[in-house]
Amino acid sequence: MSNRRDPVIVGLADAPLEDGKFVTRASVLGHAALVAKAAVEEAGLTLDDVDGLLTAGMWGVPGPGQLATVTLGEYLGIMPTFVDGTNIGGSAFEAHVAHAAMALREGYCEVALIVYSSDQKSLRSRNLGGRPSVLSMQHETPYGMPTPVGGYAMAAQRHMHEFGTTSEHLAEIAVAARKWAQLNPAATRREPLSIDDVLSSGMISEPLHLLDCCLVTDGAGAIVMTTAERAKNLKTRPVAVKGYGEAHTHWAIGEMPDLARLLPAQKAGERAMKMAGVSHSDIDVVEVYDSFTITVLLTLEALGFCKIGEGGDFVSGQRTAPGGGFPMNTNGGGLSALHPGMYGMFLLIEATRQLRGDCGERQVKGAETALVHGTGGTLSSGATVILQKD
């Protein structure tokens, strides 16, 4: 049953990187503007058509970044009448898609632009000194918690303890991601990688090794959404937003209700799949946030692709690699393609490209339905989007 106001994705763009850094010389907002312009123009629209602006970022804080949509709207010279600056970490953009979808259905918005940009690699601005020791963080930061890796390490330790998951299981995920990256000319790390390489890459925060951790790169991306009706007169083939869900449980890892079970993903995933009317066997391609290898394991279990505790077996034998039977993170993911701080935008871009059939060597044949799941904070938030070829 389709409706003329059903939400669709009609435009996308991402900034070229070289060695994980921006190629173009522009500020962090400049890169946001350049991908925004490219994404609307791809659809046959202009920035003047945009009446909905959604963004989240880590730039300009404290300062203009505290009111991110306002500052970005100013830079773009537009006056949006629907805005959403929801920031729940790297999953924010999946939540933005949900919120834009509702605004489009309601007639509150006609053309929604979702944007992200970060120049953390070029600026060397990534904060490794821990989180300011205020409010709930006064009970975490002073103990020397490595952030963000320490919280993920604690979840991995717990998963290993409860279910017998091993470092080899986690390494399978990193190696599979690298194999996809080798098929993606835009990926940052493309040299061969073995399970032994991951295991011997040095402990960062036990039990996680260096190569269990995502890259640190720059990156900018944008997505344009409109209604099915408006899309008929545009230049691209629309990809339909069929379902969505979002949830969060905690900020401090010590407050995570169950460190071996990712409840936000369970909640968001169930809701999104029910709304879309799809089951697991309908999903042709899966793009899930891989900030760390353990993130993927917890997410696959929580989304119901396997039982809780069986994620290790599920990813064994390079199941998620090209040709492995479960196409996942097909651009190489945050582990091997790019990870500019909040990666969720790039999950959406890759899923849309797969459904358009634009992925060249790494194209998943016959991909019609994609599941995208972002995770933000320290396993804090989750947001799922189900996309379908129109």
Q: Which stretches of the chain bind other proteins, using CB under 8 A?
A: 128-130, 132-136, 138-147, 150, 153-155, 157-158, 161, 202-208, 252-255, 259
Please, are residues 321 and 292 in contact by the beta-carbon 8 Å criterion? no
**In the complex, minimum distance from the CB of residue 311 to other proteins, in angstroms, rounded to a whole number:** 17
Comparison of 45 and 213: residue with beta carbon closer to other proteins: 213
Residue 369, classed as helix, strand or coil, is strand
The two tokens of residue 190 are: 């493309």
Comparison of 7 and 312: residue with beta carbon closer to other proteins: 312
Comparison of 208 and 351: residue with beta carbon closer to other proteins: 208
Comparison of 51 and 140: residue with beta carbon closer to other proteins: 140
386 alpha-carbon distance from chain centroid: 13
**In the complex, minimum distance from the CB of residue 293 to other proteins, in angstroms, rounded to a whole number:** 15
**In the complex, minimum distance from the CB of residue 306 to other proteins, in angstroms, rounded to a whole number:** 22
Comparison of 293 and 388: residue with beta carbon closer to other proteins: 293
Please, are residues 205 and 146 in contact by the beta-carbon 8 Å criterion? yes
Please, which residues have CB within 8 angstroms of residue 256's CB and are 6 or more apart in sequence? 151, 155, 249, 250, 378, 379, 380
Exposed e or buried b for every residue in 291-304, given b needs 16+ CB within 10 A?
bbbbbbbbbbbbbe
**In the complex, minimum distance from the CB of residue 249 to other proteins, in angstroms, rounded to a whole number:** 12
Please, are residues 362 and 183 in contact by the beta-carbon 8 Å criterion? yes
Q: DSSP letters along 159-175, please?
A: HHHHH---HHHHHHHHH
Find, among 79, 82, 87, the residue nearest to 61 by Cα. Answer: 87
Comparison of 4 and 139: residue with beta carbon closer to other proteins: 139
**In the complex, minimum distance from the CB of residue 209 to other proteins, in angstroms, rounded to a whole number:** 9
Find, among 348, 315, 284, the residue nearest to 195 by Cα. Answer: 315
**In the complex, minimum distance from the CB of residue 333 to other proteins, in angstroms, rounded to a whole number:** 22
Comparison of 150 and 269: residue with beta carbon closer to other proteins: 150
Q: DSSP letters along 54-105, please?
A: EE--STTTTTGGGGHHHHHHHHHT---SEEE----STTHHHHHHHHHHHHHH
**In the complex, minimum distance from the CB of residue 161 to other proteins, in angstroms, rounded to a whole number:** 5
